[in-house]
Amino acid sequence: MNSFDSSNGEEMSIDSAAQTNSLASVASAHTAARQPGNAPMGSGLEARGIHAWFGKHHALENVSLDFASGTVTALIGPSGCGKSTFIRTLNRMHEFIPSAAMAGEVLLDGKDIYSKGTDVTKIRLQIGMVFQKPNPFPSMTIGENVLSGLKLAQLKMSNKEDLMQECLERAGLWNEVKDRLGAHAGGLSGGQQQRLCIARALAVKPKVLLMDEPCSALDPGSTLRIEDTIGQLAQTMTIIIVTHNMQQAARVSDYTAFFLSEGGPGNMIEVGPTNEMFSRPRDQRTENYVSGRFG
Amino acid sequence: MTLETPVVVEPQRPWKATPRELAPTGYLLLASAFASWAVVAATPMKGKLAYAFLFFVFGTASLSINKGRKLGRSAAVDSIAGSVAMTGAFLVFLPVASILFTTIQKGVKGLHWTLFSQTMFTASYSDPISKGGLLHALVGTLYLILISVIVSVPMGILTALYLTEIKGPGSNFIQFIVQAMSGVPSVVAGLFIFASIIVTTPVKASAIAGAFALSILMIPTVTRTAQEVLLLVPMDLREAGQALGATQWKTVATIVVPAARNGLITATILGVARIAGETAPLLFTIGGSDKLNWNPFKDYQGALPFYVWKGLLLGTPESIQRAWTGILVLLILVLVLFILARTLGGRKMKSK
């Protein structure tokens, strides 16, 4: 009787703790759900001493981060702190901007993707990307969009139909589009278009998937579906996601890195397991940010 | 709960003016017309232009005052701006309509079937219009347009791709050259081909020489329009393509160009429109034959603008009639080509 009471009281206290710091509890529940014992696939990515410039403007300063294979890492921080710039250095999209420059190394399975003689198209094939704004190819049908990566990278694939279905299923879109694969992608809703872009990124079988605020233009329902998708994809690949939504970071990620620019170039302030970052961050600025005191 | 009788809701447009609300505008315009007539009758101002000008002034002022009394000063200004814009649009429409109307009115009298089966080889321009035809000129113009398209469209689009996609060395200089080229007087293009090709190489005056001269005019038009269209393709799509591991060429060929497809067809059409009626570049370059010539690479060739020019130059009633009919045929030909380009170009997109 007594013990029952006390256990009840304990439950109460856990409940109230969860309420005061619900983000941390969501995060820990999520991490507990995914067994670290499941040997993950995908490849590890390691950023060492990354700097980035746009012309004279120093946008990112000395960021070093390890992304273990099969994990989801969320990059959070206020606008203009260099998260997107950082993620774009990871698959060499940064160099599209004419005035851009960078320093540092990005190691994919131990090899620097910026070393001389590296074929940049092969790098991007292994490190896929989903953008902030859904950008399906307007001149192609839904089916063609999914398989466009194969065409673009000139890959040979025997049973394209199966691959198309697999990718659409993994992106959580198959049931909605299976009867209209020949329709133009422009007719899909924003959320569907974004899942189509995820399916398109999956078709070339990347080892790492970069997502730059993939849900920022979407409604809550589509956001949830994409978060589900991320959870499933993490079993086979390494995922790095930029997000402004801290609940989302807490829901989907294993690790969280906090970026901040204090007037000067953006810095990575702190990185750690997501539940720790949200419950007991080491840095006061992280604490302020995750508790919503600024940003 | 009571059963309500279902109310049938009719679709309505409450923002549309009712005839009753439009009536004052009509009255004011009528009054303006009457006032302009009265002023022309009472003052030394005379002529059609005076009517038009006074009607514009009275109409704009009265409509604006009417609006201003009901809705205030900003509505009055809005009304003036609306009247001015409408007048501008009408002034643009007027010459186009006038050209079309005059051409059809004068040209249609000379239309007959032998026009498309005979040439001027055995007839003279001052013969009755039923004798001879313009088959040679029609064939010549088709050859000229075809060869110019084959030369200019790939060159123009590739140049545009270099300037918008590759942005390689010399882009600024090439951009400058393209702009300068679009200002070249057309007769200079003809003279250039005459001096550089016809005088110095075995290629003599023929359809291909004429097409080269026309290409000098067409390439900058196609390039500049294609550039505008390619710039409209969102940067996201290029990034998406490259993020999938595509080379730049693959991205351009499979994503950017198909996305800009309709606009590139427009660029081609504008290019053809630029050259189809050009006469000056042909003066030195095609020879202006009256004989049917199926070989575009050799011997003198005729062309519709050339046929028109010859007819006008001779000045007899029959030859001038031929000129009008030639213009009408040229207009119809260009219209048919545009419709063909639009339907052939648009078909693939629609059927999916």
Within a domain: A44:
yes
pLDDT digits (tens, 9 = 90+) for A257-291: 999 998 889 999 999 999 999 999 999 999 999 88
Distance from CA of A241 to the nearest CA of B (A): 16
**How far apart are alpha carbons B305 and B140 in whole angstroms?**
10
From residue B85, give the alpha-carbon distance in Å to each of B55, B75, B80: 15, 15, 9
- Quick one: chain A helix, strand, coil %, rounded to 5? 40, 25, 35
DSSP string for B171-184: HHHHHHHHHHHTTS
Q: Which residues of A fall below an 8 Å CB-CB distance to B?
A: 91, 93, 96, 98, 121-122, 124-125, 128-129, 131, 133, 135, 137-141, 148-149, 151-154, 182-184, 197, 200-201, 204
Within a domain: A240:
yes
Please say if the pLDDT value at position A9 is more than 60: no
Within a domain: A61:
yes
Indicate yes or no: CB of B237 within 8 angstroms of CB of A121.
no
Distance from CA of A130 to the nearest CA of B (A): 8
**How far apart are alpha carbons B309 and B296 in whole angstroms?**
21
- Domain, as residue range, for A26: 22-290
Please say if the pLDDT value at position A33 is more than 60: no
Nearest CA in chain A to B259: A139
> What does the pLDDT read at residue A295?
55
CA angle, corner B80, sides to B76 and B85, nearest 5? 145
- Exposure of A188 by Cβ count < 10 A (0-12 exposed, 13-18 middle, 19+ buried)? buried
Q: B242, B251, B275: which is closest to B156 by C-alpha?
A: B275
Q: Which span out of A9-18, A34-43, B62-71 was modeled with the highest average pLDDT?
A: B62-71
Within a domain: A7:
no
Which residues of chain A neighbour B238 with C-beta distances below 8 Å? 96
Buried b (16+ CB within 10 A) or exposed e, A36-75: eeeebebbbbbbeebbbbeeeeebbbebebebbbbbbbbb
Indicate yes or no: CB of B244 within 8 angstroms of CB of A135.
no
pLDDT digits (tens, 9 = 90+) for A147-172: 999 989 888 877 888 999 999 988 88
pLDDT digits (tens, 9 = 90+) for A43-68: 789 999 999 999 999 999 999 999 99
Please say if the pLDDT value at position A10 is more than 80: no
pLDDT digits (tens, 9 = 90+) for B334-346: 999 888 888 887 6
Longest dimension (CA), chain B: 98
The model's confidence at residue A190, banded by pLDDT at 50, 70 and 90, is confident
Within a domain: A17:
no
Residue for token digits 């998708």? A229
Which residues of chain A neighbour B352 with C-beta distances below 8 Å? 141, 182-184
Distance from CA of A26 to the nearest CA of B (A): 32
> What does the pLDDT read at residue B257?
93
User: Which CATH number characterizes residue A213's domain?
Assistant: 3.40.50.300
| CB nearest B254 (choices: A96, A151, A182) | A151
Within a domain: A193:
yes
Nearest CA in chain B to A90: B243
Helix A190-203 / helix A220-233 crossing angle, nearest 10 deg: 20
φ and ψ of A258, to 5 deg: -105, 125
**How far apart are alpha carbons A182 and A279 in whole angstroms?**
48
The tally of domains found in chain A comes to 1
Please say if the pLDDT value at position B190 is more than 90: yes
Catalogue all structural domains in chain B, each as residue range(s) with its CATH number.
19-109 (no CATH), 135-351 (1.10.3720.10)
The model's confidence at residue B348, banded by pLDDT at 50, 70 and 90, is low
Distance from CA of A147 to the nearest CA of B (A): 10
User: Could you tell me how many CB contacts below 8 A there are between chain A and chain B?
Assistant: 79
Q: How far is CA A246 from the centre of its chain?
A: 13
